[in-house]
Structure 1
């Protein structure tokens, strides 16, 4: 009887447990994601926050959203040859007025489309560079001169991330946003969560991160899904990889460091796209690294476009009393649209021209 009991138990495990385990991987198959990727151009773009916005709350909020300013800046991006952008959405603006937020996102997509730029929305962001850990809608603080990203506002904010009683509200946001645009060709990838655990949260971000991935899969968008690899936390990276159709990553290192990481990530057998790079003082520069992305068939989005209220020309951690560095960390243009380095702009235009050639597309599809 004992042997029969064990045999039946084993059979039940095989029939019921194993299929459940097999079905937990809801990623696109490698064949499907490669078929999608091989139809795409070489994506060369930027992380976008308008010069008028000190944070993403100000970018999207009904008191400050400026379609005209965005249109002007994206026209500059198009002229430079950039064909995609990534920006963080703000949960607090959605919760304040869901209909307004979804309609504003649609307006933003229309501006992107007008300038032949594909959009990668990031639904959440844990980053904090100042003293506030939760966003507030309405008028935002003015810059504190000399402080990198002084008033950066995470989404949905650290208080909600760590409070599971708020997650049902966040679920509505995820499903409303992805559900509205799940078949919109102006969106090319969904980035579910920018730098989870950053800003001091650590593993406290894991429960929400896993839920967000689950909610996104329930909507099943026609666009691929990703969560960025941004640091060396194995547990975090395992979660990201297990929930990414296409592998995305951040790399602010020099050419050799970039090549090394690309080689490591290619072992997973999925296409890659870099969603943050360019740190001039650190050796992550256009003249060296852009060729690596192009030759390795890895899309890329540098940080950022027009220098403005975020003061991201300064290095991370810069404070008002620190000396002003001689070299900008991020951004391509001054506030008056003059290039920080005209040679960088020419290199970007050259690669944009290369990517439009049929020879690149044919090689890309091999």
Structure 2
């Protein structure tokens, strides 16, 4: 169990990792808080432009982050690419949060300009291979997630700025990303999460989802609905016969709650990463509909996140529930650091060819 993690004082991946704003003190404090909940994993987003800016420095900072995570008995999942929110990422100082606007500064990677122009994509191979090969035998890392919601066209926010053929462009690029990842021969499993649509049988997968499932060592998915819908998705995905990780859930206003989703996850032995941890510059206490109606003040019902910046829980009963579940899991889990060994046939073939 864990969460999608960004420090409270970072508006996006760039602000989290750039040398000028990389804040080990805050990360240490917040990961101590995660450890106190019993979290043993976090999902953390990287960015391709950080590699271009300073590849060696970026790898060093990832290593420092992993040292702190290990100190707190946490093994992260690292995400290489992301198709959500602002399609025009910019290095350097990031803008301040927009009042009341959910994820007002989160950025995609690769950005739309790179996605639209194959001539600009050459560095992406170096980024993927460089990061994965550097950490390929590092057991501080639990999983690689190659691309978050690759076919998300951000209809409620940045739709008019997105490439009109974004899904086609991503469908063309994603197999290459998997191939680059596999060529680095990581010891950790690789995944790419299904986040929408009917996946009740292999025949109903769309072309991009087929690429995601066929190349993933383990199956990951998102579900921001109630417990009944969460359980339905789990049953759908069990058909693939691989470990299941829900890499995004928990949106209180959408009836996705710790109480509902975690009861199902425990029943079916599904790993669970809620969205958000310490409320801060990402503004994810505000709901998705804030893009249509920004909130002037803090909403009574938080959408995501668990803690206020000072470390006080938003809801003490949620924290108590999480601690109860993780303590039970710790007693039953005799080998929390065991690697996930499942391999897809395509990956085995790629390794043999390499």
Q: Which structure 2 residues correspond to residues 20-99 of structure 1 after superposition, within 5 A?
A: 44-99=1-56
Is the 8 Å Cα contact of residues 197 and 204 (structure 1) preserved in structure 2? no
Q: 2:151 aligns with which of 197, 215, 223?
A: 197
Tell me how far 1:204 sits from its aligned partner: 1.9
User: How far apart in 1 are the matches of 2:179 and 2:332?
Assistant: 38
Match of 1:226 in 2: 191
Name the CA shift for 1:321/1:171 in 2 (closer, same or farther; >3 Å).
Answer: closer
User: How far apart in 1 are the matches of 2:67 and 2:118?
Assistant: 35
Name the CA shift for 1:321/1:109 in 2 (closer, same or farther; >3 Å).
Answer: closer
What do residues 22-76 of structure 1 show as CA deviations (whole Å, max 9, x unaligned)?
xxxxxxxxxxxxxxxxxxxxxx000001100011110011121111111111011
What do residues 230-283 of structure 1 show as CA deviations (whole Å, max 9, x unaligned)?
111722211110110000000111000000000000011111111000011111
Is 1:126 equivalent to 2:98 in the alignment?
no
Q: Which structure 2 residues correspond to residues 1-366 of structure 1 after superposition, within 5 A?
A: 44-128=1-85, 132-198=86-152, 199=154, 200=162, 201-232=166-197, 234-319=206-291, 321-322=294-295, 325-358=299-332
- The range that moved more, 196-205 or 47-56, is 196-205
Any stretches of 5+ residues in structure 1 without a counterpart? Answer: 1-43
Is the 8 Å Cα contact of residues 354 and 360 (structure 1) preserved in structure 2? no
Name the CA shift for 1:321/1:231 in 2 (closer, same or farther; >3 Å).
Answer: closer
Tell me how far 1:97 sits from its aligned partner: 0.8
Cα RMSD (Å) of the superposition? Answer: 1.8
Name the CA shift for 1:321/1:155 in 2 (closer, same or farther; >3 Å).
Answer: closer
Is the 8 Å Cα contact of residues 224 and 251 (structure 2) preserved in structure 1? yes
Match of 1:21 in 2: none
Is the 8 Å Cα contact of residues 355 and 361 (structure 1) preserved in structure 2? no
Any stretches of 5+ residues in structure 2 without a counterpart? Answer: 155-161, 198-204, 337-354
Is the 8 Å Cα contact of residues 286 and 295 (structure 2) preserved in structure 1? no
User: How far apart in 2 are the matches of 1:196 and 1:77?
Assistant: 28
Secondary structure, aligned partner of 2:121: helix
How many pairs are equivalent? 317
Is the 8 Å Cα contact of residues 126 and 158 (structure 1) preserved in structure 2? no
User: How far apart in 2 are the matches of 1:359 and 1:250?
Assistant: 24
Is the 8 Å Cα contact of residues 7 and 26 (structure 2) preserved in structure 1? yes
Tell me how far 1:141 sits from its aligned partner: 0.1
User: How far apart in 1 are the matches of 2:332 and 2:301?
Assistant: 37
User: How far apart in 2 are the matches of 1:69 and 1:321?
Assistant: 28
TM-score (norm 1): 0.83
Tell me how far 1:361 sits from its aligned partner: 7.4
Structure exhibiting the larger radius of gyration computed from Cα positions: 1
Is the 8 Å Cα contact of residues 120 and 190 (structure 1) preserved in structure 2? yes
TM-score (norm 2): 0.86
User: How far apart in 2 are the matches of 1:321 and 1:76?
Assistant: 30
User: How far apart in 2 are the matches of 1:359 and 1:107?
Assistant: 27
Secondary structure, aligned partner of 1:191: strand
Tell me how far 1:326 sits from its aligned partner: 2.5
User: How far apart in 2 are the matches of 1:292 and 1:358?
Assistant: 17
Tell me how far 1:209 sits from its aligned partner: 1.1
